[in-house]
A and B are shown apart, each in its own frame.
Chain A
Amino acid sequence: MSADWPLYEVFIRSRSGLEHKHVGSVHAADARMAIEHARDVYTRRQEGVSIWVVRSTDIVASDPDEADALFEPARDKIYRHPTFYDIPEEVKNL
């Protein structure tokens, strides 16, 4: 049965203020069922306060063959990393 259902990617926000993170995928016949399945599969132990689901086929992914062209140029530009700042201790989640 589930083999006939489309795949949905699941994103969970673990706490208010944090971003949604990809946690996995579920099969479901429709979006409502996908939310329920995501809830039952991925938030059984209070892992989340919000769920997003999106059809896997609706995700546009970068091509692994283009990885060099896309990501290599950033490798030698360490000045783009904000590692030269002192971060106050009170600042969390940066």
Chain B
Amino acid sequence: MNEPLLRYLLRLGDTSLVLGQRLGEWIGHAPALEEDLALANLSLDFIGQARLLLTYAGEVEGRGRDEDALAFLRDPQEFFNLTLAEQPNRDFGYTIVRQWLIDAWQLEVYEGLLRSSDRRLADIAAKALKETRYHYRFSSGWLVRLGDGTEESHRRVSRALDDLWRFTHELFTPDEVDEQLADAGIAPRLQELEPRWSARIDETLREATLERPQSVHYPWHGKRGQHTEYLGHMLAEMQYLQRAYPGAKW
């Protein structure tokens, strides 16, 4: 088994899965009917990405676990999503900031993965990249609208940005898994993606009349399986059915 590849696929897949679940929590609660559908569409895109990545991860692992077993029967410490993805929705501003930061990250990662020596991963990235371009259009549009909107929207989206910014350090802090995959030509080097991400972020922040928060050099360790308290609660809800009624189908 290729342990680093498995870990890398779980990181990407879990990030999409967890973010997809978070977005799904908005269904029936979004500020407008049209946004309800928009968030549901985003959610389904992420769950679609997660399905491809987790299916592949299950095959690499070779222990007979499929996408469902990986999504619904793992405990929080076996999830390797970015810490940012699991942060709660709180309000629409938080949701948009979280979305926008991850969309910008995925734009760079998927773009880099197009040149992966792993054909299957490159194909998944090519499909996901099209979705991600739309996601970024959506989230950056809202960031500008909220930042450069009313006094209240500006205040609230600024607070969300300040709160969530500390989780961005993890996005570009490589560990041995990232390094090994980059050496093998499977994954792009995270440090090389950072400047483009940063430039994109700064450009949108300017348009949104928002200040870039101070960097916090604490790399949260979601991608190493160490999570904030929020993931456990989210998984308890997401996994309830399969845990309570193992193998339930409809």
A residues neighboring B (CB under 8 Å): 1-2, 5, 26-30, 32-33, 36-37, 39-41, 44
Q: Is B34 within 8 A of A26, CB to CB?
A: yes
**List of A residues within 8 angstroms of B137 by Cβ:** 36
B contact residues, total (Cβ < 8 Å): 13
CB contact between A1 and one of B31, B37, B138, B141 (< 8 Å): that residue: B31
**Count of A-B contacts with CB under 8 A?**
35
**List of A residues within 8 angstroms of B38 by Cβ:** 36-37, 40
B residues neighboring A (CB under 8 Å): 31-35, 37-38, 41, 134, 137-138, 141, 145
CB contact between B34 and one of A30, A32, A41 (< 8 Å): that residue: A41
**List of B residues within 8 angstroms of A1 by Cβ:** 31-32
> Which residue in chain B gives the minimum CB-CB distance to A29?
B145
Bound together, the chains give a CA A69 to CA B148 distance in angstroms of 50
A67 to chain B, nearest CB (A): 32
**List of B residues within 8 angstroms of A36 by Cβ:** 38, 137-138, 141
Bound together, the chains give a CA A91 to CA B240 distance in angstroms of 57
CB contact between A44 and one of B35, B41, B134 (< 8 Å): that residue: B41
B48 to chain A, nearest CB (A): 13
Q: Is A27 within 8 A of B141, CB to CB?
A: no
